[in-house]
Amino acid sequence: MLDVDITGRIGHLDLEARFSSDGGVTSLFGQSGAGKTTLTNMIAGLITPLSGRIAVNGTVLFDHAKGIDLPVRDRRIGHVFQDARLFPHMSVRTNLTYARWAGRRKSTRDFGEVVDLLGLDDLLDRKPPTLSGGEKQRVAIGRALLSDPRLLIMDEPLANLDQARRNDILPYLDRLCGEAGIPILYVSHSIEEVARLSTTLVILSGGRTPAYGPVADMLARTDLGRATGRHEAGALLEGKVARLDRQWGLTHVDIGGSFLQIPDLEAEIGTPVRLRIRARDVSLAVTPPEGLSIRNAFGAHIVSITEESGPYAEILCEVGGQTIRARITRASVHDLNLAVGKPVTVLIKSVAIDKRQRTPVPPVPA
């Protein structure tokens, strides 16, 4: 549980942040200069807000009205930054245990458990200069976990990694987010990371938090395009693997009575998956088409049409209780006579669903 309701000021930036989450992974998303680092520093106790309240799992870290302002050490917040900040002269093993030793804390988390979670066993006797960027970040995450934190803040941990190294570390983050057992505040300006890892999404724009809520609901909202980025706008679908077509290398995923065929998805039948589908990769038809190479075609109905001043329109369609978002031209809306409530066929190319967007659905904390 994370509750934040604060105001503050740093330089020329006025900050007003208000959001809450029930645990799991809360992603703080915003473009550069939105105030993400300022907000996390206030939560960590590095900057004092002007007013408001911050609480984690019922423990009040800051309450201006009651005169509560816990020092950094007593807040027990693990912080992972863009750069790993490891001690170059120490082994990985010593780096992992340093925060626990320096903080004089007896961690409730087993050392071997963290090593296994992050795949660090083969790295323990090496030193940071011999590690790749992704390996360094995994060590930094392990060190933060072993400091016995009540909250883990990950401040754009993949920002300094190239795409190959990001792909290496994302599976470890998948597992971490599902198994850490503590609230995680994940800061990013990458909608791909946010969609993949989080359960709750907080939008931060110009020092304000205009919206927050379940990540699927947030990404489906058409009124947040300026804050989330129109080019990467899309929707999240939750489903389960229903069939494996090994002849053609396709996995059939049930998204609520309709099925998506996805190439190269390594998952067993019954595995829950999360799919992110970009709005620009979705087409609509008013009659079921024939003779197409597109394998994903299923019925839906339109729940909203948002026309902008430019050439595009944002269409939200409902299928199996979930929302799919499509961006098409306003001319197509006119020519197809699209309207709210009208049944349509949704078309999605199988190859448009990037396998890096797929991940096991994070469990919802009890």
Joined together, the tokens standing for residue 238 give 């939750």
Look at residue 32 in the predicted model and tell me its pLDDT.
81
Cα distance between the two ends of the chain: 11
Mean local confidence (pLDDT), 33-57: 93
pLDDT at 356 over 90: no
Q: One fold for both 2-227 and 235-357?
A: no
Single-letter amino acid code for the residue at 114 = V
Read off the pLDDT of residues 304-341 as tens digits, 9 standing for 90 and up.
Answer: 998 766 898 999 999 989 999 999 999 999 999 999 99
Distance CA 159, CA 10 (A): 23
Highest mean pLDDT among 78-82, 127-131, 185-189: 127-131
Contact 89/125 with Cβ under 8 angstroms?
Answer: no
Read off the pLDDT of residues 160-201 as tens digits, 9 standing for 90 and up.
Answer: 888 888 878 888 888 888 788 889 999 988 888 888 888 999
**What percentage of the chain reaches a pLDDT higher than 90?**
54
Contact 173/179 with Cβ under 8 angstroms?
Answer: no
DSSP calls for 63-84: ETTTTEE--HHHH-EEEE-SS-
Look at residue 357 in the predicted model and tell me its pLDDT.
47
Look at residue 336 in the predicted model and tell me its pLDDT.
96
Query: Which pairing describes strands 234-245 and 272-278: parallel, antiparallel, or unpaired?
Result: antiparallel
Look at residue 23 in the predicted model and tell me its pLDDT.
80
Look at residue 225 in the predicted model and tell me its pLDDT.
67
Crossing angle of helices 163-179 and 133-145, in 10° steps, is 20
Joined together, the tokens standing for residue 86 give 């490891």
Contact 308/230 with Cβ under 8 angstroms?
Answer: no
Distance CA 191, CA 226 (A): 13
Asked if the 235-357 domain carries CATH number 2.40.50.100, the reply is: yes
Look at residue 103 in the predicted model and tell me its pLDDT.
58
How crowded is residue 289: how many other Cβ atoms within 10 Å of its Cβ? Answer: 12
Q: Coil, strand, or helix at residue 339? A: coil
Look at residue 363 in the predicted model and tell me its pLDDT.
42
pLDDT at 65 over 80: yes
Task: Give the confidence band of 106 by pLDDT, cuts at 50, 70, 90.
Answer: low
Mean local confidence (pLDDT), 115-121: 91
Task: Give the confidence band of 366 by pLDDT, cuts at 50, 70, 90.
Answer: very low
Read off the pLDDT of residues 218-266 as tens digits, 9 standing for 90 and up.
Answer: 888 877 766 666 556 788 898 999 999 999 989 999 999 999 999 888 7
Crossing angle of helices 133-145 and 92-102, in 10° steps, is 30
Look at residue 162 in the predicted model and tell me its pLDDT.
84
Mean local confidence (pLDDT), 13-39: 90
Entry pTM: 0.83
Instruction: Report domain extents, the chain.
Output: 2-227, 235-357
Asked if the 2-227 domain carries CATH number 3.40.50.300, the reply is: yes
Distance CA 5, CA 18 (A): 4
Single-letter amino acid code for the residue at 334 = H
Look at residue 255 in the predicted model and tell me its pLDDT.
92
